[in-house]
Amino acid sequence: MSRSPGAPCPTCGAVTAAGHGPTAPGAGGDFGAGQAAAGAPFAPPQSAPPPRPDAAIGLVSDSKARDLVLVAHLSALVGLVGIPSPLGPLVLWLAKRDVHPFVDAQAKEALNFNLSALFYTIAIFVFGFVFTLVTFGLGIVFFIPVVLAAMIAWVVLVVVAAVKASKGELFRYPLTIRFVR
């Protein structure tokens, strides 16, 4: 069977050059002959629609998902009243992770960050306590500013993540250990 050079494959839309065999990889036969024999008009392969502008930068347009992610990030602020900060994102992630992939990813991100922050807080307190004992109380001069700076950084990062989430953007916290994948 002969085929004209430049005939497109009906399966994948690949254009062949002269001298190729009767089958193209993955095409499964002599393409072009069946359409020409049947008299079917040639239809060019359909291309996918262009991606949305917001898809390129990771924006989510679903307002319910954005609201849930906003709550997931801000729920960590319960740590300011003495409740462990990972508890809020954990509860929301367990309850709503199947609603939308954005909710699943960002609630896990908030949970991982707050677990990391809890881990870092414990490490700072242990190190600060030992350092204060070794220096006969002078270590507290360094310990208190470090704790205050860490607390301010935690609040700022949670608020920044919440603002990004309200816009539908993906946010990755810095210095986060990925406990939950």
Average pLDDT over residues 123-132: 95
Above pLDDT 70, what percent of the chain?
67
Question: Are 168 and 139 within 8 A, CB to CB?
Answer: no
Q: What is the pTM of this model?
A: 0.66
Average pLDDT over residues 118-132: 95
Same domain, 94 and 140: yes
Above pLDDT 90, what percent of the chain?
60
Separation between Cα atoms, residue 145 and residue 148, nearest integer Å = 5
Same domain, 71 and 158: yes
Question: Per the domain annotation, does 2 fall within a domain?
Answer: no
From 168, 167, 151, select the one nearest 117 (Cα to Cα).
151
Question: Are 24 and 8 within 8 A, CB to CB?
Answer: no
Question: Per the domain annotation, does 139 fall within a domain?
Answer: yes
Question: Per the domain annotation, does 143 fall within a domain?
Answer: yes
Find the range with the poorest average confidence among 21-30, 116-125, 127-136. 21-30
Give the range of the structural domain holding residue 19, as residue numbers without chain letter.
7-47
Average pLDDT over residues 109-136: 95
Question: Per the domain annotation, does 126 fall within a domain?
Answer: yes
Question: Per the domain annotation, does 180 fall within a domain?
Answer: no
